[in-house]
């Protein structure tokens, strides 16, 4: 059995794992290896993300994490196709009351936000002729849309230039612990064709029972420090070190449709008070991407897109109610996909050392904010790993221990 001995091993090469590797390498943290079952991101939330990036969150820590990341994305906007056309967020009465209370929070952080009454909103969104139930709206001009794949590759390219080693087709199946120390991870590495091309989801979840052992070789990774960044798969990977994760994987569906009557290409993300969100996909393409946060979705690993039934009930119907026949009758559903949100109990990221371990850390469960907060979260994790403390922002409240200690950081402005 081959034994690999990096100083730091990161499990999971999605947006958070790649960002963490880059930040650690920039701090000269030692030799770093990142392992993943599929570096292409077949089942990664990063590759199925809608690309929205906003700092207008209601919990102040989420707002600051997103704002710090967003300002960095501005500096590499061309590299990651970051277009700052703003977020237009429509609120029902109760939500509007809270939004008004958050004005001071945004002012303190320096986040520009415009507050619009329904009459003012009509000028920005004339397609929505029916504003029933909308008490007001916010427009945040520096929020926008980026390409999640390009951002992930930006982190990876930077990490590789600094010596980080990314290893593909690896699935962790066992761990060796000694007291409060995680000593090694046992990994199966696929020899030939990529395992995800034919493997079922059930097989991925129980890959330690492989059908063709000759296609796999076993390796061991011994490291001084381990960082688990497996995202929606945290409930599975954390069992390696006998920890029951509070994270749950929840399916989110996204539809793509054409609308040649209405042109949204000069605007950013629009979020209706019903929970529907949509934006133009590409410039002047006539295509629109739309999603809906289904509150009734049960946790579980599913990548099934429900097709026309989802589009008709969750997307088209809500658009039609707002814009009527003149604006949204002649739209055509093209296709769609599903991805996973890694959801924590309070809908806020988990970042910190795993209880009862001295050299094991977890980062994940950003609940849809992994892309938009990745720069700040990766930076904070690198500070904690290399220096034992946070230097630029007190992120101690993000520890996973907060749930047992009843110190949740509730984020209610989710979509």
| Domain range summary for the chain, segments of one domain joined by + | 2-47+149-247+346-402, 84-145+249-343
CATH number of 2-47+149-247+346-402: 3.50.50.60
pLDDT for res 208: 45
pLDDT for res 41: 86
pLDDT for res 42: 81
CATH number of 84-145+249-343: 3.30.9.10
**Cα dist from 103 to 26, 97, 142, whole Å:** 36, 11, 16
**What is the reported pTM?**
0.93
pLDDT for res 198: 46
Print pLDDT tens along the chain (415 aa).
678 899 999 999 999 999 999 999 999 999 999 999 888 888 888 888 888 999 999 999 999 999 999 999 999 999 999 999 999 999 999 999 999 999 999 999 999 999 999 999 999 999 999 999 999 999 999 999 999 999 999 999 999 999 999 999 888 989 999 999 999 999 988 776 555 554 555 555 555 445 555 677 889 999 999 999 999 999 999 999 999 999 999 999 999 999 877 778 888 999 999 999 999 987 656 799 999 988 889 999 989 999 999 999 999 999 999 987 778 877 899 999 999 999 999 999 999 999 999 999 999 999 999 999 999 999 999 999 999 999 999 999 999 999 989 899 988 876 5
């Amino acid at each position: 059995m081959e034994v690999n001995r990096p100083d730091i091993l990161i499990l999971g090469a999605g947006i958070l794992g790649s960002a963490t590797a880059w930040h650690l390498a920039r701090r000269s943290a030692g030799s770093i290896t990142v392992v993943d079952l599929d570096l292409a991101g077949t089942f990664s939330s990063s590759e199925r993300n809608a690309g929205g990036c906003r700092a207008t969150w209601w919990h102040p820590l989420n707002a600051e994490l997103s704002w710090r990341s967003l300002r960095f994305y501005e500096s590499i906007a061309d590299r990651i196709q970051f277009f700052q056309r703003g977020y237009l967020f429509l609120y029902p009465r109760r939500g509007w009351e809270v939004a008004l209370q958050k004005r001071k929070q945004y002012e303190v952080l320096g986040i520009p936000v415009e507050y619009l009454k329904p009459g003012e909103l009509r000028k920005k969104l004339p397609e929505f002729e029916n504003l029933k139930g909308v008490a007001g709206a916010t427009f945040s001009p520096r929020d926008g849309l980026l390409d999640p794949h390009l951002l992930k590759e930006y982190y990876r390219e930077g990490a590789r230039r600094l010596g980080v080693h990314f290893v593909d087709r690896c699935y962790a199946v066992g761990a060796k612990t000694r007291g409060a120390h995680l000593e090694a991870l046992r990994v199966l590495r696929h020899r030939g064709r990529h395992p995800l091309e034919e493997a079922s989801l059930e097989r991925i979840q129980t890959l330690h029972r492989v059908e063709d052992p000759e296609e796999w070789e076993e390796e061991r990774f011994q490291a001084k420090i381990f960082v688990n960044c497996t995202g929606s798969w945290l409930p599975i990977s954390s069992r390696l070190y006998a920890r029951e994760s509070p994270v749950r994987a929840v399916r989110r569906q996204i539809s793509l449709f054409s609308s040649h009557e209405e042109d949204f290409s000069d605007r950013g993300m629009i979020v209706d008070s019903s929970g529907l969100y949509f934006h133009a996909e590409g410039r002047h393409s006539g295509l629109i991407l739309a999603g809906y946060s289904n509150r009734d979705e049960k946790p579980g690993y599913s990548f099934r897109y429900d097709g026309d039934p989802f589009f008709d009930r969750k997307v088209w119907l809500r658009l039609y109610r707002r814009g009527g026949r003149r604006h949204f009758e002649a739209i055509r559903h093209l296709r769609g996909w599903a991805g996973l949100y890694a959801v924590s109990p309070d809908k806020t990221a988990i970042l910190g050392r795993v209880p009862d371990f001295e050299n094991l850390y977890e980062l994940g469960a950003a609940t849809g904010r992994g892309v938009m907060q990745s720069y700040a979260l990766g930076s904070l994790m690198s500070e904690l790993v290399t220096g034992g403390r946070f230097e630029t922002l007190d992120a101690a409240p993000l520890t996973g221990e907060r749930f047992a200690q009843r110190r949740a950081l509730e984020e209610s402005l989710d979509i």
